[in-house]
């Protein structure tokens, strides 16, 4: 499995996302993903499925050292002390003694960034997490968080897919040494499976438009974490390492970006106006 480096963190380039998976479905799909060959599992406190994801990891029988586990701290736990305690609770739910990457799920503006980043780094120093990072941080906020952190920041997880150009975030992250993880890497509503550009490129390789969209991300050095409730779709999403896109194909796919390509659910984007209208600011 290809890995993407973020300030010393070696993150498997393709992971399994668990957003919206609940109960037995979360447990069974986590196990199924690991059975397929995924070695990167992404969850979050706000997903309310850490216990089931942890059970799925245990059910898989895969050696813990071979699995890269990411979770995220919700924004009501950004105070020093609260953050560390909440991560310990996450570990109890996951039934793990540490996770590999802990992210701040969304920016918070009523807690000093210096306090939050110090607490996050302290969790790393305590051994609760091997690496630390951000999620949904704009270019400006990402730089501010990195400057405020006593230790290395590994990753910024953002919405990114063929219809949403995130080049400014990618460039800024790489200049800072961070990896970038793409959530919603297949876009929304299944459009990648019907897109003429993606399907025509896929026909050359015997791949679907979705597989081409994932390959486009991974080949450009972006971690992708597609989420699905179907074992067959999870297997299809994993089957992207036996072909390579040509530079002209990469360019054609990049040209699919749409100024209206972002989908932000207000429930998942609190105080978005305070953070800037797009990730690219």
- Cβ atoms < 10 Å from Cβ of 142: 24
Residue listed under structure tokens 């690496």: 131
Question: Binning pLDDT at 50, 70 and 90, where does residue 276 land?
Answer: very low
pLDDT in tens, 57-79: 999 999 999 999 999 999 999 99
Average pLDDT over residues 5-12: 98
Paired tokens of 168: 């400014």
- Report the percentage of the chain scoring pLDDT > 70: 93
pLDDT above 70 (res 274): no
Does the CA dihedral 30-1-135-169 come out positive or negative? negative
Average pLDDT over residues 112-126: 98
pLDDT above 90 (res 264): no
Catalytic annotation, residues: 47
Question: Binning pLDDT at 50, 70 and 90, where does residue 263 land?
Answer: low
pLDDT above 80 (res 49): yes
Q: What is the pLDDT of residue 261?
A: 72
Listed range (142-146, 200-204, 268-272) with the worst mean pLDDT: 268-272
User: What span, in angstroms and rounded, lies between the C-alpha atoms of 227 and 229?
Assistant: 7
Contact 7, 178 (CB under 8 A): yes
Average pLDDT over residues 96-102: 98
Paired tokens of 270: 């609190």
Paired tokens of 223: 């971690």
Cβ-based neighbours of 39, under 8 Å, separated by 6 or more: 1, 12, 62, 66, 67, 68
- Report the percentage of the chain scoring pLDDT > 90: 90
Q: What is the pLDDT of residue 259?
A: 79
| Mean pLDDT score across all residues of the chain | 93
pLDDT in tens, 214-231: 999 999 999 999 999 999
What does the radius of gyration of the chain's CA atoms come to, in whole angstroms? 18
Q: What is the pLDDT of residue 232?
A: 98
DSSP assignment of 19-54: TT--HHHHHHHHHHHHHHT--EEE--GGGT-HHHHH
pLDDT in tens, 150-197: 999 999 999 999 999 999 999 999 999 999 999 999 998 889 999 999
User: What span, in angstroms and rounded, lies between the C-alpha atoms of 221 and 178?
Assistant: 11
Question: Binning pLDDT at 50, 70 and 90, where does residue 265 land?
Answer: low
């Amino acid at each position: 499995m290809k890995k993407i480096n973020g300030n010393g963190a070696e993150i498997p380039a393709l992971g399994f996302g668990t957003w919206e998976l609940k109960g037995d479905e979360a447990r069974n799909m986590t196990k199924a993903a690991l059975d397929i060959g995924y070695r990167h599992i992404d969850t979050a406190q706000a997903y309310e499925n850490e216990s089931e994801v942890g059970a799925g990891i245990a059910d898989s029988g895969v050696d813990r050292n071979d699995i890269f586990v990411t979770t995220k701290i919700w924004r009501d736990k950004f105070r020093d002390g609260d953050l560390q305690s909440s991560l310990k609770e996450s570990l109890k739910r996951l039934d793990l003694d540490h996770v590999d990457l802990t992210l701040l799920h969304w920016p918070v503006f009523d807690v000093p960034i210096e306090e939050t980043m110090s607490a996050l780094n302290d969790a790393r120093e305590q051994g609760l997490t091997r690496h630390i990072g951000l999620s949904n941080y704009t270019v400006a906020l990402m730089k501010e968080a990195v400057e405020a952190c006593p230790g290395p920041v590994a990753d910024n997880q953002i919405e990114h897919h063929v219809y949403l150009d995130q080049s400014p975030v990618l460039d800024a992250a790489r200049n800072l040494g961070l990896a970038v993880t793409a959530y919603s890497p297949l876009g929304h509503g299944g459009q990648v499976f019907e897109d003429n550009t993606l399907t025509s490129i896929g026909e050359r390789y015997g791949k679907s438009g979705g597989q081409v969209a994932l390959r486009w991300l991974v080949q450009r050095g972006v971690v992708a974490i597609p989420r699905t409730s179907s074992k067959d779709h999870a297997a299809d999403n994993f089957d992207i390492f036996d072909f390579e896109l040509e530079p002209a194909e990469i360019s054609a796919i990049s040209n699919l970006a749409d100024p209206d390509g972002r989908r932000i659910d207000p429930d998942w984007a609190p105080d978005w106006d305070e953070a800037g209208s797009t990730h690219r600011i």
